[in-house]
Amino acid sequence: MEQNPTNLFDLQIDPVSNGFLAETAKWAKFLSIVGFVSCGLLAIGGLAVVTIFGSMSQSMGAGSGFGAGFGAGLSLIYIAIAVLYFLPCLYLYRFATAMQAALGVNDGVKLQESFKNLKSCFKFLGILTLVVLAIYALGFLFGGMAAMFSR
Amino acid sequence: MYCLPALTKMNEPTNNPLQQLDLAPYGKAARWARFLAVVGGLFSLLLLVAAFLVHRMLRNPAELAQIEPALPTAARVSVWLLPLAALINFLPSFFLFRFALAVQKAVSRREQPALEKSFRRLYYFFLYFGVIMLVVITIYAILLVALGSAALMGLGEQ
């Protein structure tokens, strides 16, 4: 059967490009679902950590408040990572579902929506990278200053 | 397949199909993608530099062993693992950078082939991460099965 280029949203997308976009959406959906599961596991891990350290400090008796505090801190870090990881996964999932909907019914609005979510995903990861780089830079700065003053 | 001419006049009546689609979000996505790709590339470079430094440290393994007996072995493993990590990290950055270049060309010149190229490169990027994720999940599954069977065998012996 002859495959003519599909006129999607007044934009010529040939079957090859259409196939690439459909496959991209499939892989993006898979990655986002794996991401959601990882977020859930991280959150469960965070709750488990606070429970384990809490019961450990209880069994050790008085004066072991450090264990419970450390557990709570670690749990907070786990949950914060889960929240930070959840957002790009959500954008990726929205990108994938909107792309699949756009390709399914030739909907230009859905295509725009999927591109917006792709942008939000990359933007979030970009800002997160900038924040991490800034933290590293501050760490190097303070580390260097501490090394200089300790001489 | 056709190549659309570059169009810049906003109010000019046109039959250019791309003119009707707002590619701004796609262009913005590419801008962030380029930033991420550059940072990823620099990180790969840092990993290679680290591998080179570890290789230099291995010139005198006896000195390393004085600090910690297991250090020379760890350094020998790192000399191979660090470039591998650099390569694994570099490939998606490369795909992402090429994706960003194609999108920029598609958005600025409104070229149909560049847009199609960008779709292909975006697919390669997600395919790469998907395959890596499948490999990681498989390794985890094998480790879980191995640990589970080892624990069961240990219980059986007791």
A2 within domain boundaries:
no
Interface probe with B: pick from A122, A123, A124, A130, most Cβ of B within 10 Å: A122
For residue A12, the model assigns a pLDDT of 61
Q: Annotate A35-60 with three-state secondary structure.
A: HHHHHHHHHHHHHHHHHHHHHHHHHH
What is the ipTM metric for this complex?
A: 0.82
Residue A4: inside a domain: no
Residue A33 has pLDDT above 70, yes or no: yes
Q: How many domains would you assign to chain A? A: 1
Q: Does a structural domain hold residue A25?
A: yes
Query: pLDDT digits over A83-142, tens only?
Result: 999 999 999 999 999 999 988 887 878 888 999 999 999 999 999 999 999 999 999 999
Mean predicted lDDT score pLDDT of chain B = 84
CA torsion angle B12 B18 B24 B28 (round to 10): -140
pTM attached to this predicted model: 0.81
Whether B36 sits inside 8 A of A125 (CB atoms) is yes
Q: Would A33 be classed as within a structural domain?
A: yes
How many residue contacts between A and B have a Cβ separation below 8 Å?
A: 85
Share of chain B above pLDDT 70, in %: 84
Contact A122 B21 (CB under 8 A): no
Name the amino acid, one letter, at B133: M
Classify residue B53 as exposed, middle or buried by CB count within 10 Å of its CB (0-12, 13-18, 19+): middle
Average pLDDT rounded to a whole number, residues A42-66: 79
Whether residue B21 and residue A9 make contact (CB cut-off 8 A), yes or no, is yes
A128 within domain boundaries: yes
Contact list in B for residue A89 (CB cut-off 8 A) is none
* Higher per-residue confidence, A27 vs B72: A27
pLDDT at B2 exceeding the cut of 60: no
Question: Chain B partners of A21 at a C-beta cutoff of 8 Å?
Answer: 119, 123
Write the CA distances from B27 to A60, A113, B32, B52, B119, integer angstroms.
58, 14, 9, 37, 13
| Ramachandran class of A7: left when φ > 0, alpha when ψ lies in -120 to 50, beta otherwise | beta
The sign of the dihedral angle between the CA atoms of B60, B78, B33, A23 is positive
Test A119 with B39 for CB contact under 8 angstroms.
no
First-last CA distance in chain B = 71
pLDDT tens readout for residues B87-117: 999 999 999 999 999 999 888 887 888 888 9
The domain in which residue A44 lies consists of 11-150
Q: What is the Cα–Cα distance from A135 to A129, expressed in whole angstroms? A: 10
- What was the pLDDT predicted at B23? 77
Disruptive mutation site among B32, B36, B93 for chain A (greatest number of A CBs within 10 Å): B32
Residue A3 forms part of a structural domain? no
Question: Which of A115, A120, A121, A127 has the highest number of chain B CBs within 10 A, making it the mutation to test binding with B?
Answer: A115
Specify the pLDDT at position A34.
96
Residue A57 in domain: yes
Could you read off the pLDDT of B7-18 as tens digits, one per residue?
333 334 444 444
